[in-house]
Amino acid sequence: MLEKPKLFLTAREFWITVILFLVILSIRLSFIYSQYQIFIAKPFYFTYVDVLQQYTKEKKGKRYTVLRVHSNELDLDFFTRTYREDNLLNKRIRLKLLPRRDMSFVEYLRTSFIPSRLNRVLEKPYGLKSTLLEAIESQHSEPIIASFYQAIFFATPIQKNLRKEVSKLGISHLIALSGLHLAILWGVLFYLLRPLYRIFQQRYFPYRFDLIDIGFIVLVILGSFVWFVDAPASLLRSYSMMAVGWAVLILGVELLSFTLLSTIVMLLILLFPKMLLSLAFWFSVLGVFYIFLIIKRFSEVNRVILTLILYLGIFVLMLPIVHVVFPLTSTLQLYSPLLSASFTLFYPVSIFLHLIGVGGVFDGWLLELLILDGDIVNRKLDIVFGVGYLLLSIGAVYSKRLFYLLFLIAFCFMGWIFLL
């Protein structure tokens, strides 16, 4: 069997690409730095923002509301504060921003705090999305379940108590629309459209290749979906990776390669430089990296077994990295690989059930799952260990022995955080 050509024929070509990437990125960042200087130089801005998250905090006996918002006009995600206690989620508000002169460039690039004054609260225009959200809500008696489905279908902000429960279960990646959801939708749409396409293909254009035509149609549909749900960052980067992956597959270049993954990451950073400081982005990159690594080391294994290894392996290998940043640990997180595997079937089935008006079928089971009790402890790893673990992960690409050592360390870590 002929081997697919690699994206880069030599290591020299790859490193020239890396140098070119760094040069272009420096130019991109210089323009953004100019915007940053203009931003902090002005005493105030008026802008409309969409409220993404809302929660209440208390300091020195005073209660206040923290809002996470997004300004399309300024292309900024940031936190701000108000003393209003009414529900502002899914609202559009007009703010008077008061930029801090001491705000660093790094703070400007990531989601930081910007003081503001709230001037006006507006309802978002009532449209198709509002109608669909209400249709979902009408099929559930428990607000927490309705919030769950609205989040996995339309990337809406979730309730604070739901966020706590999914963190305890280790399934936050299932709630936030991302590559997993797009991959499931891609598979469902591809195999639904393929029989219909073949009827016309055999009669009118037998010379066409279904992977190209159906793949393009599915990409257009998924792109429309990403736009419809307001293109959250996690979904946008996943869609970009999917589009590039499809193009590479059509060109016949080796798909499951670490050089290709590196190239896609560089392209995404050039398109969206603020991803440089996005933890979610780097976690998603690491997830794909470990998928490639497991497939590379278990390429001869039966596909069914490989799928099981992937769900368990990604969970185990990601644990040390996740605990460098997020120390929350619960024995309930051991259900995560099983729940992730089940979600592949649950997601398309739940969409179909909501379309026919019986979306509440799984409500009882979901509620029982979300109220499961489990001991919660904090297990935070030192950053030095995290860096060493990442270096070992890179070494595992080139050495099978280092790969098995990596797996052993990850399993030992899992035993430490869950059993001791």
Count up the domains in the chain and report the number: 2
Q: Given this model, what pLDDT does residue 27 score?
A: 95
Domain that holds residue 120: 42-125
What values do phi and psi take at 352, rounded to 5?
-60, -45
Residue 25 belongs to some domain of the structure: no
Residue type, 122: L
Residue type, 291: I
Residue 414 belongs to some domain of the structure: yes
Residue 22 belongs to some domain of the structure: no
414: part of which helix (H) or strand (E)? helix 400-419
Structure tokens at 195: 């029989």
118 and 178 both lie in a single domain: no
Residue 31 belongs to some domain of the structure: no
Tally Cβ neighbours within 10 Å of residue 111. Answer: 19
Last residue of a domain, one of 98, 125, 152: 125
Q: Given this model, what pLDDT does residue 22 score?
A: 94
323 and 247 both lie in a single domain: yes
pLDDT by residue for the chain (420 residues), tens digit each?
455 667 777 888 889 999 999 999 999 999 999 999 998 888 888 999 888 888 888 887 788 888 888 888 888 888 998 888 788 877 788 999 998 888 889 888 888 889 999 888 887 777 788 889 889 999 998 888 998 999 899 888 777 778 778 888 888 888 888 888 998 999 999 989 988 888 888 888 887 887 788 889 999 999 999 988 877 777 877 888 788 878 877 877 766 778 888 888 898 889 888 888 888 888 888 988 999 999 988 888 888 888 888 889 999 999 999 888 888 888 888 888 888 889 999 999 999 999 999 999 999 898 888 887 777 778 888 899 999 999 999 999 999 999 999 999 999 998 888 876
CA 374 to CA 205: how far, in whole Å? Answer: 58
CA 137 to CA 9: how far, in whole Å? Answer: 54
What values do phi and psi take at 330, rounded to 5?
-140, 145
**CA distances for 363 relative to 74, 210, 312, 351, angstroms:** 40, 38, 26, 14
Residue 133 belongs to some domain of the structure: no
Last residue of a domain, one of 125, 157, 182: 125
Q: What distance separates the 2 farthest-apart alpha carbons in the chain?
A: 75
| Helix 210-228 / helix 233-251 crossing angle, nearest 10 deg | 170
Structure tokens at 66: 């923290």
Q: Given this model, what pLDDT does residue 1 score?
A: 44
Looking from the CA of 170 toward its CB, the CA atoms found within 13 Å total: 24
- Distance of alpha carbon 302 from its chain centroid, rounded? 29
Find the CATH number of the domain harbouring 54.
2.40.50
Cβ atoms of 290 and 318 within 8 Å: the answer is yes
118 and 182 both lie in a single domain: no
Last residue of a domain, one of 125, 159, 183: 125
Residue 132 belongs to some domain of the structure: no
**CA distances for 89 relative to 52, 205, 338, 391, angstroms:** 6, 50, 32, 41
What 8-state DSSP symbol labels residue 334?
G
CA 19 to CA 42: how far, in whole Å? Answer: 35
